[in-house]
A = this chain, B = another copy of it.
């Protein structure tokens, strides 16, 4: 029994196998339409996300399974103060596999540690959203035929963008990937991602504030949204925002095979005029997300893999992250892990740096 909380729970080989499985599903859909007969997927969405929920549900239906749907928090037992752990134990009596989305960071790990069926993290607050990253990876693979030796532009909010950090983590496993980090000063990629991920893997990156300058050299442009809330003063926001909106004009300076991606939903950061551009791939990402979820559901239901290997957790530290599930979940066993070099201690649930007791 195996759960997926983070894309990094998957080895590079497993990732390649999932990509291959998804591409086989795309090639031979009929061969898969009865694979999950008699199986049930529960979609527990404490936080509404129609796109992600419908993607999981469509995936299960295309595999011949059924769906138990919990579309929003107000509809869940959470309203009655039930813990995530109890909900996970309960839903294990109803479903064969669970996809959970929750506003608390680490909630998916709590669910996975208590459920008796596989759990897929469909987004736990600002922490992880692995199936979005799987959708991004399948899109890159189908559009480019490879993951290595690509110049990947990441544009917009690189400071808080969960999908950006996750994609960098996943691509850093491959050779010769170069990242062009396009953002305003206020929203630059955090230092630790540059040092602990990109540089640690011996990969190169450049930082720029200009989308126009970066565009010509990109194999992939990954756009994200810049949220007004991120800025202290509205002037800065208004001065900056337009320069990070992708228009048909700007696309003229991009190379003929530069693929444009976006996790969606978009607001105005990509003009709808760009949708007709054959290089626009963001709606292909939506479809690819469904196929990767099908591949993932099959893997977790039918591969008799081990439960995710227990890391050597320890308990005597303190997580001060108010968005961490450990701040609300009752009687939750505190879990912490130390970085390879032993320098930092992180909460196992939200992966924020914790304060060690001693």
Using a CB–CB distance below 8 Å, which chain A residues touch chain B?
33, 38, 40, 42, 48-51, 54-55, 57-58, 61, 66, 68-72, 74-77, 79-83, 85-87, 89-91, 93-95, 264-268, 271-273, 275, 283, 286-287, 290, 330-331
Contact = CB atoms under 8 A, between A and B. Distances in A.
A72 B69 contact: no
Contacts of A55: 93-94
Contacts of A72: 71, 74-75
B70 A272 contact: no
A61 B54 CA distance: 18
B57 A68 contact: yes
Contact of A331 (B76, B79, B271): B271
A99 to B, nearest CB: 14
A309 to B, nearest CB: 22
A85 B272 contact: yes
A86 B264 contact: yes
Contacts of A273: 331
Nearest to A285: B93
7 contacts: A48-B79, A55-B94, A69-B71, A89-B283, A90-B264, A272-B331, A273-B331
Given A61-B40, A75-B71, A267-B81, A90 B272 contact: no
Contacts of A54: 42, 68, 70, 91, 94-95
A119 B119 CA distance: 34
A221 to B, nearest CB: 18
A82 B40 contact: no
A49 to B, nearest CB: 7
Contacts of A267: 80-82, 330
A93 B71 CA distance: 19
User: Which of A72, A76, A265 lies at the interface centre, i.e. has the most chain B CB atoms within 10 A of its CB?
Assistant: A265
Given A50-B75, A90-B264, A93-B286, 14 more contacts: A40-B58, A42-B54, A50-B87, A51-B90, A55-B93, A58-B68, A72-B74, A80-B265, A82-B264, A86-B265, A89-B286, A90-B283, A268-B330, A272-B331
Contacts of A91: 54
A286 B267 CA distance: 39
A49 B77 contact: yes
A22 to B, nearest CB: 14
A58 to B, nearest CB: 4
Contacts of A330: 267-268, 272
Contacts of A81: 265, 267
Contact of A50 (B33, B58, B76, B331): B76
B70 A71 contact: yes
A128 to B, nearest CB: 19
Nearest to A332: B272
Contacts of A42: 54
A75 B48 contact: yes
Contact of A77 (B40, B51, B83, B90): B51
Contacts of A33: 38
Q: Which 4 A-B pairs have the closest CB atoms?
A: A82-B265, A58-B94, A93-B287, A272-B331
